[in-house]
Structure 1
Amino acid sequence: MTFFSNLFKREKKSTSVRSIIQLEFLEVDMHNHLLPGIDDGSTSVQQSLGFIKELNSLGFKKFICTPHIMDGVHPNTKFSITQSHQALLEGLRKAGSNIEIFPAAEHMIDDGLHTLIQNNDLCLMPGGYVLIEMSYLSESKALFQTILNINKLGYKPILAHPERYNYYHTNFDIYKQIKDAGCLLQLNLLSLSRYYGVDVKAIAMTLVKSGMYDFVGTDLHHEKHLQSLKNVVEKYPVREMLKSCNILNPTLIDHINDQNGNQIIA
Structure 2
Amino acid sequence: MTEILDGKAVAKLTNEETAKRVAALPFTPKLAVIYDPENGGSELYVGMKSRKAARLGMETVDIAVPADADTASVVATVKQLNEDSSIQGILVQSPLPGEIDEQVIFSAVAPAKDVDGLGAFSQGLLFADAPAEYTVAATPKGVMTLLEHYHIPTKGKRALVVGRSQLFGRPMMALMLNADATVTIAHRYTPAEDLKAALKQADIVMVGVGIPNFIKGEDLQEGAVVVDVGMNVVDGKAVGDVDFASAQGIASYITPVPGGVGPMTIATLLENTVTAAELQAK
The alignment's TM-score, normalised by the length of structure 2, stands at 0.36
- Specify the structure having the higher radius of gyration (Cα): 2
The alignment's TM-score, normalised by the length of structure 1, stands at 0.38
